[in-house]
Amino acid sequence: MMYKTELHAHSAECSECALFSAERVAEEYIKAGYTTLVLTNHFKRYETERLGSYERCAEMVFESAERARRAAAGRLNVLGAVEIGLNTPRCDYLVYGATLDFLLEDKDIYSESVEELYRRTTEVGAILIQAHPFRDIGVPANPEFLDGYEIRNGSNRPRLNNMAKALWRDNIEAAPIATSGTDYHGDFTPINSGIVTEEPIVTMEQLKAVLRSGNYTLIGGEK
């Protein structure tokens, strides 16, 4: 049996552009036949301002995952991760293994460089992936300060995904991890991406080990 895991999805609690609550997102992934959902809600300056404080936004990242987990009631594994938006340059990074304490440690995380963010994620054993590196005004980050790139984003145009794949292949030694994620925001984003594994992913430590091992296939694309 093969097991499907979503690596990039948002809910409305702390992703203003998402349509559905965490509970609804969980139900959508159950219907889509996924085994695991990694909820990667936004952690960006404008979300902090919208929610009223840095601390509240950080808490909501993990509260939303817990709400999805409770709603799934054992029908879907739900893990909490985060998509951090840095200000200069304006690029987004998926962090698998970030905790509430990690986010609260630097209350101006948005102003960090990718070098500093990578130093911090490495210290805590987290994985740092640049999300959709060619979207909008984003620019590819130095692979020396990444664990990998999102080479398949289900909300991107194919051309941008092809560019991301080529970028990863050119830098595979420095940033060896390739990921696929739907970047789910609701009805306008069909669930179409993620990874497939031979065993179900039930913990963040297991997810990190799988990504580092390369023992998975991408949904919607090839490495």
Instruction: Please give the model's pTM, rounded to 2 decimal places.
Output: 0.96
- Across the chain, which distance is largest between two alpha carbons, in Å? 45
pLDDT at position 21? 96
Backbone angles phi, psi at 39, to 5 degrees: -85, 115
pLDDT at position 135? 87
DSSP 138-202: --PPPGGG-SEEEEEETTS-HHHHHHHHHHHHHTTTTS-EEEEE--B-STTS----EEEESS---
pLDDT at position 58? 94
pLDDT at position 52? 87
At the top level of CATH, which class does the domain 3-219 belong to? alpha beta
- pLDDT, averaged per 10 consecutive residues of the chain (223 residues), comes to 96 87 97 98 87 91 97 98 92 97 95 97 98 87 98 94 97 98 90 97 98 97 83
Helix (H) or strand (E) holding 79: strand 77-86
pLDDT at position 185? 94
